[in-house]
Amino acid sequence: MRLTKFGHACVRIEHADATVVIDPGMFTAPEAIEGADAVLITHEHYDHFVEDRLRAAAEADPGLRIWTNRAVADQLSGLGTRVTVVGAGDAFDINGLGVSVHGEWHAVIHPDIPLVRNIGFLLDGRVFHPGDALTVPEQPVETLLLPIAAPWSKVSELVDYVREVKPQRALSVHEAVLSETGQAIYGRLLGEGGPGTGAGLHQPAVGERIDLG
């Protein structure tokens, strides 16, 4: 299994006959979707989902499939059966790659800001993308994609989240809201310079490919 980091919250997973892209939002180059078999969208916010880009990708590739929640699917009307609505507890297969769905809600930004639905995706029982929530899957996780900075999070919560999930490794995502200095600070706090999470943290650069074994 190989992971490629794209802008912000977006990653591309290649495993056997499946190529899957998760959350290609506004801070991700449109080329991230090229050649993918499927796109998974955790929720509707623009840094995870851009309707016109995803429609353009679907028009360019009639074989592209999309799995997401109801709110996003409603914005992709007209694509028919190529869009599948999923929620917590669902499982499906993409060219032999098993995917299970976890979580229901986006993390709270502020009580006065309405919550939106958010789902996380666990691929092959190994790699978990939580979207914008600190969802803990019921199954063990080898690689946790950790949203290191967002309007809804703080470092202490992220430390406790990694401790609870107990992954073998954490890879940072959702970093576009930080400067390079900020990323270094967060990386230190969530890595060896912090109180400890029990898992090593790697901060992949955009375009970096990582062999997950």
The predicted model scores a pTM of 0.97
pLDDT in tens, 136-179: 999 999 999 999 999 999 999 999 999 999 999 999 999 999 99
pLDDT at 207: 97
What is the pLDDT averaged over residues 194-204? 97
Q: What is the pLDDT of residue 148?
A: 98
Q: State the residue range of the domain holding 14.
A: 2-211
- Tell me how far the alpha carbon of residue 177 is from its chain's centroid: 16
Q: What's the CATH number where 37 sits?
A: 3.60.15.10
Beta bridge partners of 210: 3
pLDDT average, residue stretch 98-115: 98
209 pLDDT band, cuts 50/70/90, is very high
The average confidence (pLDDT) of the chain is 97
* Number of domains the chain is built from: 1
21-36 per-position pLDDT tens digit: 999 999 999 999 999 9
Regarding predicted confidence, which is higher, 213 or 126?
Answer: 126
Query: What's the rounded mean pLDDT across residues 125-134?
Result: 98
Mean pLDDT of 110-132: 98
Structure confidence at residue 96 (pLDDT)? 97
Hunting for tokens 């919250």 — which residue is that? 9
pLDDT tens-digit readout, 61-77: 999 999 999 999 999 99
Q: How confident is the model at residue 6, as a pLDDT? A: 98
Measured between alpha carbons, how far is 95 from 83 in angstroms, rounded to an integer?
A: 16
